[in-house]
Amino acid sequence: MATIRDVAKRAGVSVATVSRVLNQNGYVNEETERRVRQAMKELNYKPNEVARALFKKTSKTVGLIVPDITNPFFPELVRAVEDVMNIYDYTVILCNSDEKVEKEREYIEVLKQKYVDGVILTTNQFAPEEVEEWDVPIVVLDRPLHERYPSVVADNYEGARLATRHLYEVGCRRIAHIQGPNHVVNAMERFRGYQDEMRALGLGDRQLVIQGNYQLKQAKEAVMAALAEHDMDGIFAGNDAMAVGALKAVQQCGLRVPDDIAIIGYDGIPLTEMTTPELSTVSQPIYEMGAMAARILIKQIEGKPLEKLHYQLPVQLVVRQSTSRRGLT
């Protein structure tokens, strides 16, 4: 690997001049620049990003901490972040935290040691004082952390109301909600949306909440248990994976979807189009959320002002077979 000194020697100039050509700053004579570029080409010179990072304290690298890439909600988010970062010449270090604060903390430490320029994280588990101490630009994604920190989230509350109302409009009166883990803010917001909409529909005293943890298997079992005890004709699942679990449970009990029980999920992941019947869902603009978080982080890194600190993107009701009953809707 050729170094800047090799290039300088070959072009008959000093390293400072080569560096100026490289960074397009300072004065460089046209003819000199030509010679330098020629030398670079001949030596196939590529600047060493590590040396550059050491001096500039910036590495053109960002960290992305997600709970688990294996959870089908995240690949698209990750992809979006990677795409945008790539455009601006940043690379992305991927970290899976399994929702464990301790792992998140460790990753932050490692990322800082590598001089990452910023971090996007999907968590709501940190105290703002701790984040402050990290002293690295961050953007939180999918889950609001604290008003101090820029965030990109979807409108969970409104989405939950939409879903609940949709079930009502399709004829459901005994609407159950499968709730996500209660340490996750967006799950709580969706729950709140369900509660408020139920009250607004005059079904406040007919609420039925099933505890889930955003996972298919656990949701399936919880729904099986609930079906044995309670009567219901509609299920609003806190995410799509749990909606699939509910679908399986309902079918396994010999009931028909949507005729006996209508089901709607949340997130809008591709999976929802693959089941039979296809699942209705409240779709979040996943790619757009990731892309926006990336753009905001870059703005922060480059010291540009943010127009807004908190972005809340709209969600959209997607009606498919799992809630399409008897000509209704």
Site string for DNA, 51-80 (x = CB under 7 A): xx-xxxx-----------------------
Residue 243 binds which one of DNA, a second copy, none, with CB within 5 to 8 A depending on kind? none
Nearest to a second copy of 35, 60 (CB atom): 60
> Mind giving me the DSSP string for 117-159?
SEEEE------HHHHHHH-S-EEEESS---TTS-EEEE-HHHH
CB 228 within 8 A of CB 252: no
Site string for DNA, 31-50 (x = CB under 7 A): xx------------x-xx--
Q: How far is the CB of 96 from a second copy (least distance, A)?
A: 6
The amino acid at 21: V
Q: Is 27 in the site for DNA (CB under 7 A)?
A: yes
Nearest to 125, CA basis, from 145, 139, 95 = 145
Q: How far is the CB of 281 from DNA (least distance, A)?
A: 48
What the block records as the tokens of 253 is 């009990």
Beta-carbon contacts of residue 38 (< 8 Å; ≥ 6 apart): 11
Residue 4 binds which one of DNA, a second copy, none, with CB within 5 to 8 A depending on kind? DNA
Q: Which residues bind a second copy (CB under 8 A)?
A: 46-51, 53-54, 59, 61, 68-70, 72, 74-76, 78-79, 82-83, 91-96, 109-115, 216, 244, 247-248, 251, 270-271, 274-276
Nearest to a second copy of 202, 270 (CB atom): 270
Beta-carbon contacts of residue 95 (< 8 Å; ≥ 6 apart): 63, 64, 65, 66, 103, 107, 111
Residue 76 binds which one of DNA, a second copy, none, with CB within 5 to 8 A depending on kind? a second copy
Nearest to DNA of 55, 307 (CB atom): 55
- Which strands, in side-by-side order, build the sheet including 234-237? 208-211, 175-179, 234-237, 262-267, 280-283, 316-318
Nearest to DNA of 20, 320 (CB atom): 20
Nearest to a second copy of 16, 54 (CB atom): 54
Q: Is 231 helix (H, G, I), strand (E, B) or coil?
A: coil
Residue 12 binds which one of DNA, a second copy, none, with CB within 5 to 8 A depending on kind? DNA
Q: How far is the CB of 41 from DNA (least distance, A)?
A: 15
CB 138 within 8 A of CB 107: no
Q: Is 1 in the site for DNA (CB under 7 A)?
A: yes
Distance CA(135)–CA(133), nearest Å, equals 5
Beta pairing class for 316-318 and 280-283 = antiparallel
Q: Is 114 in the site for DNA (CB under 7 A)?
A: no
